[in-house]
Amino acid sequence: MTLKEAARAVRKNAHAPYSNFQVGAALRTAAGNVYVGCNVENVAYPEGTCAEAGAIAAMVAAGERELAEVYVVADSPAPVPPCGGCRQKLKEFGAGAVKVTMGTLEGVEQETTIGDLLPGAFDVGHMARS
């Protein structure tokens, strides 16, 4: 199964009764394994947790921490870019050159990288004097 197929499949499991906007994410790690996530909303925090965050959590829970590629899909008029918080999460586990593809259900795709999604990112080097 490709990352695209995995993201499209998991998107159908999204729990998004407040936004009605279902998102699926799939990532491949440096070790070659695939992890998936969908957005999960709740009544107290209707923005919920993002699909990308879910896929990253699954990866970390499985004992992996190195992203190799990411795919995000939603039923939107144009490819949906990861939110600010997810950009920082992607940056935590992936090099700047890691490819992130955003897709629509119709198959329109836009490719970017973690580095381009979060230029000037805060990282551990900024805490070097602490």
Q: Which residues are catalytic?
A: 52
Of residues 6 and 16, the one with the C-beta less far from ligand THU: 16
Distance CA 30, CA 70 (A): 11
Per rule CB under 6 A, is residue 42 in the interface with ligand THU? no
* Site map 64..83 versus ligand THU, x via CB under 6 A: --------x-------x-xx
Token pair of 130 as six digits: 């602490």
Per rule CB under 6 A, is residue 41 in the interface with ligand THU? yes
Per rule CB under 6 A, is residue 52 in the interface with ligand THU? yes
Distance CA 72, CA 50 (A): 10
Per rule CB under 6 A, is residue 10 in the interface with ligand THU? no
- Backbone conformation region of residue 49, classed left if phi is above 0, alpha if psi is from -120 to 50, else beta: beta
- Dihedrals phi, psi of 19, to nearest 5 degrees: -95, -20
Token pair of 32 as six digits: 């070659």
Angle between helices 84-93 and 51-61 (to 10 degrees): 30
- Residue from 7, 10, 23, 98 that binds ligand THU (CB under 6 A)? 23
Per rule CB under 6 A, is residue 39 in the interface with ligand THU? yes
Per rule CB under 6 A, is residue 103 in the interface with ligand THU? no
Residues that bind ligand THU (CB under 6 A): 16, 19, 21, 23, 39, 41, 47-48, 50-52, 72, 80, 82-83, 86
